[in-house]
Structures are given as C-alpha cells and as structure tokens.
Structure 1
Amino acid sequence: AGDAFALFTRDLWRYCARSAIAYKTMVEGYCYVGDMDPATRILAQMEKMGFHIDVGLHNAILRGLIRAKRVDDALDHFAKMEKNRDTDLESYSIVVSALCDEKRVDKAVDLLYSMNEESFLPDVGIYNRIIEAMSELQLHGAYLLFEQMIEAGVLPNSATFSFLVRGCFKRGFLDEGSELLRQMVESGCVPELATFNAVIEGLCKVRRVENARWVMNEMASQGCSPDAATHRFLLEALCKMDKLDEAHRHVQRMIATGCLPDTVTYSFLIKKLCKEGRPMEAHRIFKEMIGIGREPDSSIYNLLLASHCAASKATACYELFTQMKERGVLP
C-alpha cells in the first residue's frame, strides 16, 4: 500500500501544479498510511511557501502521528497549533483520546481545563473519554469531573453514567454505584448490558443476592435481557452460599426462558455438588448439561470420576470413563 501511494504522489507531483490542494492531498495521504516523515516535510514546505494550513490538515497530522505511535510528537505539534490558534474541538478530542489511551490522564485533564481558557466548550464526548480512563485509575477524580461537567452545563449521557457505575461496583463502592444507577435511570439514560452485569457481579461478590435479583428484574423492565454471564454471577454467589438447590432451580429457569447456561456455569455447580458429597445430583446435572448441547471438558469428567470413586460408585465411574473415550475427551 505504501509503494502504491508513493507512485501516486510522484505522478501527482509531476502532472499537477504545485498548488495548496496538491500539497494537502499528499500530506493527508501520507498521514492516512502513517508515513509521517514525508508528511511533516511537505507540511513544512507548505508553510515556507506561504500556503495557508487549515485546521483540518493539522488534525490529519495529529491523527497520523498518533497512529504512528508518536504521541509526544503529536503533543508538540498540538502545542504549536494552540500557540497559533489553529485548533478546533476535534483537535482537542484527538489529543485527549490519545492521552487517555496511554493512561496519561492528568495531562488529559490539564488539556480539558486549557480548552476553557481558549474559549472552547468541551463536549460530552471529551468528558466521557477522560471519565472512562479515570474510572479505571482514579475513581474519585472521575466522579469530581462528572460533577464539574454538570456544573459546566454539559449533560451526561448513558456512557458517562456507565463508566462511573461500572467503576464503583468493580471497586466495591456499592452504595455509591447504586445511587449513580438510580440517577442514570431517573435521567432517562438506559443502562446497557455491560453496566447491569457490572452491578450484578459487584453485588454477588458480597453475597447480596436479593439485591442482584432486583437488578435483574430492573433489567427486564428496561428492555435489557440478561445473558449467560449475568446468570453466572448469581449462580456462583448461590453456590458459595451453599444454596445449591436454589442454584439448580435457577439453572432450570434459565433453560425455560431460552438462556442456556454455558459450560463454565455448569462446571461451577457440578464442582460444588461434588465437594459437598452429592455425586448423584452432580451426575444428573451433568446429563442435563449434555442434553442441551453443552460439551463437558476433561476437568468436569475428572470431578465426577473422583466423586463417584469416593462414594464407591464403580458402575458410574465405568460409564463415565467409557463416555469420555466415545466423545474423544482425553483423561
């Protein structure tokens, strides 16, 4: 692709007048393929010849440098743009996103504040990008930025709330996360599946199963269907609380509603039943698992074999071992 573009630019240079359009086309092309040395040389030549460099071309340079993993060079170029007042909202968005990708969040926040000095109003997309990064690194800072965003008159959207809610539940700040979820729903923003799953996972980790069930019902009222992961969080919590019969009933409800448990879910339940000395119940669930088309791996067979051996169930062991060979599962 690079060779083809080099031929194109050579011909463009040969047959077209050395106009601003010709220069701009070459610069944008080199930026697109990430070949930044010729792009910056041509840009410098344009400046030397007195051609006007518009903000769109500067933004192409920023994107090209970032694409080439030359973020510091992009920052230097952006600083020149700011000095010459050649920036727009997209310029800031490009640089903020690159800084957040590199986890240089403090620098991204500094840039956000400098936008106000340049009379640019950051939009929800720029706030969201920083809040997303901060929620992984500095959750308190992300929440403060959320409050500042509202004070500045920028309304949060579903993504804003989702980043904060997921950050809270991931770090165990359940009450704060629940309050944000309430605000999210009241403001008319619909949580996505990943947000609901983060809430349910956080609640299940501290065994607040009833709260998790309430959130699952809330999902349905918002038109969001739980997936296998949603159910798995609840099932793992029930198993850890030794509520194995309740866990199995939940599996059956999943099947009835068309959300088939995955192999990981069944493995967790079978393992717990085997540890509790209930091999026959584990075996029934194992058969149920095969019945819905889930393929057990060697770890599940090994669990059942060990459990049946401990209970002196020689016939069950032989049947399982034979089935392993028939299914091509190596012991």
Structure 2
Amino acid sequence: MATLLPLSNRLLSKPMHRLLLLLSQIPNCTHLHPFAPSRRLCDSSSQNPNPTFDPNSNARGGTPLEKQFDTWVDRLRPGFTADDVAAAIRAQADPDLALDLFRWTALRPGYRHTAPAYLAMLQVAVSGRRYAQAEALVDDILAGACPPDLPLFNAAVRFCCSRRHLFSRAFDLFKKMQQRSTTAHTSCRPSIETYSMLLAAVLRRFGKPPVSYVYLHSVRSLDRQMKASGVIPDIFALNLIIKAYSKCLEMDEAIRVFKEIGLYGCEPNESSYGYIVQGLCLKGWVGKSMDYFKEMRAKGLVPTATVYMALVSSLALERRLDGGIEVVFDMLRNRMAPDLLTYRTVLEEMCREGRADAAFELLEELGRTKGAMDRRTYSDLLEGLHWLCQPRE
C-alpha cells in the first residue's frame, strides 16, 4: 500500500486520499485495490476474531460517494474501452469522483487511456475548478502518456493560456506539437486555433512599451511559423497581429498586415479598423487615422467608444476641431457618448482658439441632445468653460 500512495496522490480527491491513508494503517489489507473505496476494506477475520460476536460484521455500509463510485465501476463491464471511460467521466457530475474513476481505470490490466479519455478528464477537471489535477494531466500529456491528438493538445493549450503561471507550459505543448508534426503524426500539428490562443495569451502580457516590445518578438515568430507551416490565418488571428503592432506603434507593419487580410479570403471588420485608427492616433498620424475612420464608416462598420474618443481627442489636440465635433455627433448617433475628459478636450481647445462663443453654443446643444451627457457632466463642463474664459490679470 505504501508504494501505491505516491502514484495516486496527485489526482485523488480528498475523501479518497484520507481513505487510502486509513487503509494503509489496517493490517491484512494489502490484497485490496486502493482505488475501490467501497469494497470490503479487509478480511472479516482481521476485524473480528470472534465471528459469532457480530454476525453482520461482513456487511459494511458505504458513504454516498463510495456507493456512487461502485455504481460507475459496475457499469464499466469487463473489456471496457477508452470511449466507455470518456463517456462515464463526462456523465459524472462530481469532478472528484470522475478523477477517481479515471485513475482507477488506468490501473486495470490490459487497459490504457487514449486521447478521448484524457480530453474528457481534462475538460471535467477544468470545468470543476480542479486546477492542480488539470496541471498534472497536462504533465502526463507532455510526457507522452497517450497518443498525439490535436483536440487534446488544443484543450491543454487553452487551459495553460488561461492560467498566467502556465504561460511557458503552453509553449512547451506548442513545441511538442511541432515536433510531432514533423514525424508520422501529422494530424497533431498546430492549427489556426492553436496559433490564435497563443497570440491572445502573448497579447495579454503586453503592458508598458518596453515590455510590449519584448513580447512583440513572440508575435512575429508565431506569425512566421503559422505562414511557413501552411496554416491559413483567419480574421481573428490577423486582428491579434494588427493589435500587437498597433500597441507597439509599429504602424507600418500593422497596415501591411491590414492590407493582407483580403489575400486570405477575409474582410476587415470593426476590430481591424479600430486597432488601425487607434494606433495611428497614438502615433500622431491623425490624417491617416481619419481616412481609415471614414473608410470604416462608409462600409457601415461602427467603432467602439474607445476608438471614437481616441480619434476625437487626437483631432482636437491637432486643432482639427470641426472634424472632432463631427466625430462626436457620429458617436452620439450610434448611442455612445464621450466621457468628461473627451468633452473637455474639445471645448477647451475651442476656447484656446478664440472660439469661446462657439464652445458655449456647442455645450448647450450637447446638453439638449438625448443621451449625450448627464446633468453633473454638463455642470462640470459649464463651470470649466466659465473659468477658462474669464479675464486674467
């Protein structure tokens, strides 16, 4: 029993683990399998040397969890397959019991888990928030515990990408998929789903410019490998690449990828234009940004509020106030309203250009427009305009 405990410690539930510790302290129980919790724990003679003292000593009532485990074990008839195990795991509502069933079947003579069983167990562990057990399953997959399988590896990559401390493990899985794709197991080579998950995980690590430039190298590498392996990118993956370049203000590269979208049978969407418009504003290329915005609106695409406000602020700071006001009203027509800072930027720049009367008129018009601003925003802006326009000594 002592030699079996370390093997199961990683993926056993707490009730099962406590039961194994109890079994290890009971004599004459070495013939019992540690993963069958509701079986008779030991020989009746070892529990009661006098059988006439308690005629019901052989009967042992199990806990509901143990009885449920027995039920599932009984359903797995001799000669069960990995598909049978996968179906039993998916049908199990308790993730701990599913983990016990997974490990119990793994020790049956002549049986070995295949990719469907590992995939079912990984999905149940993740959905049941058994993250430590899911990590152990990923380790088994990396170690080659089952034949290579694309859905299984993608599920493992998705889990690792969702956990910040497993970021490097996701790329370990990716490298494993690349190694196997060069051998006879070509069905396990990375797909567009794999590349998209890794690109999204890298982008989540973007922060201040120095950090972003470091991770931009990974984005470039994934882009090159994706195209070199013959994987055709979709609009989601292309938008992620555009977003990465835009965040690092590499707008020439972002526009290059934007122009390549049509080559892959895709059409730019709101996100494609939005990343370009916002990146150009941050870069200071406001004229180009306005051109892409007009092209976007001509196609009937509506940007997000963040893109709208970035464009309005950039136009105002460049003293292109008429264009900024036009974008503000376009934003309002699409049931979005600028924040206080964006309004203030436009109105204050109008005052600095000597158009104080026009600024007050614009504020009055915005105050009457439904959904443009609340009373508090209007009061704050009006007070700010009065303060800005009052004569100074």
> Given the two structures, how large is their TM-score scaled by the length of structure 2?
0.66
Q: 1:96, 1:129 within 8 Å by CA — same for their partners in 2? A: yes
Mark the CA change 1:60 to 1:14 in structure 2 (over 3 Å): closer, same or farther: closer
Separation of aligned partners in 2, 1:18 and 1:276: 81
Q: What are the superposed Cα offsets for residues 258-298 of structure 1, whole Å, 9 maximum, x if unpaired?
A: 43551425454234445667543232222222332023352
1:112 aligns with 2:174: yes
Q: Which of the residues 101, 120, 124 maps onto 1:42?
A: 101
Partner of 1:259: 334
Read off the aligned partner of 1:240 and give its amino acid letter. Answer: L
TM-superposed CA distance for 1:218, in Å, is 3.3
Residue 85 of structure 1: aligned partner: 146
Please give the alpha-carbon distance, in whole angstroms, between the structure 2 residues aligned to 1:311 and 1:162.
44
* 1:162 shift after superposition: 0.6
Question: 2:344 aligned with 1:285, yes or no?
Answer: no
* Superposition deviation, residue 68 in structure 1: 4.3
Higher helix share: 1
Q: State the distance in 2 between where 1:22 and 1:115 align.
A: 27
Match 2:244 to one of 167, 170, 177? 167
Instruction: Please report how far the alpha carbon of residue 182 of structure 1 lies from its aligned counterpart in structure 2 after TM superposition.
Output: 1.3
CA shift digits 1:29-61 (9 cap, x unpaired) = 44x55x33x222122222233455443221121
In the alignment, what sits opposite 2:386? Answer: 308
How big is the shift at 1:140? 1.3
Cα distance between partner residues in 2 of 1:266 and 1:127: 40
Is residue 114–residue 147 contact of structure 2 (8 Å, CA) maintained in 1?
yes
Given the superposition, is the C-alpha separation of residues 301 and 275 from structure 1 closer, same or farther in structure 2, using an over 3 Å criterion? farther
Q: CA deviation at 1:158?
A: 0.9
Contact 2:233 2:264 in 1 (8 A): no
- State the aligned residue count: 303
Provide the C-alpha distance between the structure 1 equivalents of 2:73 and 2:263, rounded to a whole number of angstroms. 62
Structure 1 residues without counterparts, runs of 5 or longer:
1-5, 314-331
Q: Normalised by the size of structure 1, how large is the TM-score?
A: 0.77
Q: What 5-or-longer segments of structure 2 have no aligned partner?
A: 1-63, 206-214
Q: Does 1:64 align with 2:117?
A: no
Give the structure with higher Rg (CA). 2
Is 1:10 aligned to 2:78, yes or no?
no
Q: Distance in 2 between matches of 1:237 and 1:297?
A: 26
- Paired with 2:91 and 2:348, the residues of 1 have a C-alpha distance of 58
Per-residue CA shift, 1:102-129, capped at 9, x if unaligned? 2444332221121133322211111111
1:326 alignment counterpart:
none
Give secondary structure in 2 for the equivalent of 1:191: coil
Cα distance change of structure 1 residues 303 and 78 upon mapping to structure 2, 3 Å threshold? closer
Q: CA RMSD of the aligned region, Å?
A: 3.3
Query: Against the structure 1 CA distance between its residues 158 and 23, is the aligned structure 2 distance closer, same or farther, given a 3 Å change threshold?
Result: closer
Could you say what secondary structure the match of 2:365 adopts? helix
Q: Aligned pair 1:131/2:199, yes or no?
A: yes
Deviation at 1:228, TM superposition (A): 4.4
Q: Say which is worse superposed, 89-98 or 261-270, in terms of deviation.
A: 261-270
Report what 2:55 is aligned to.
Answer: none
Indicate the residue corresponding to 2:325 in structure 1: 248
Call closer, same or farther: CA 1:17–1:250 in 2, change over 3 Å: closer
Contact 2:321 2:350 (C-alpha < 8 Å) held by counterparts: yes
Query: 1:67-106: CA deviations, max 9, x gaps?
Result: 3444453243234345333441111001111222224443
2:381 is aligned with what amino acid? L
Q: Could you say which residue in structure 1 is the equivalent of 2:159?
A: 98
Which residue identity does 2:197 align to in structure 1?
R
Percentage of matched positions with identical amino acids: 19
Question: Residues 276 and 72 of structure 1: is their aligned pair in 2 closer, same or farther, counting only changes over 3 Å?
Answer: farther
Matched residue, 1:122: 190
Write the distance in 2 (CA, Å) between the matches of 1:156 and 1:212. 25
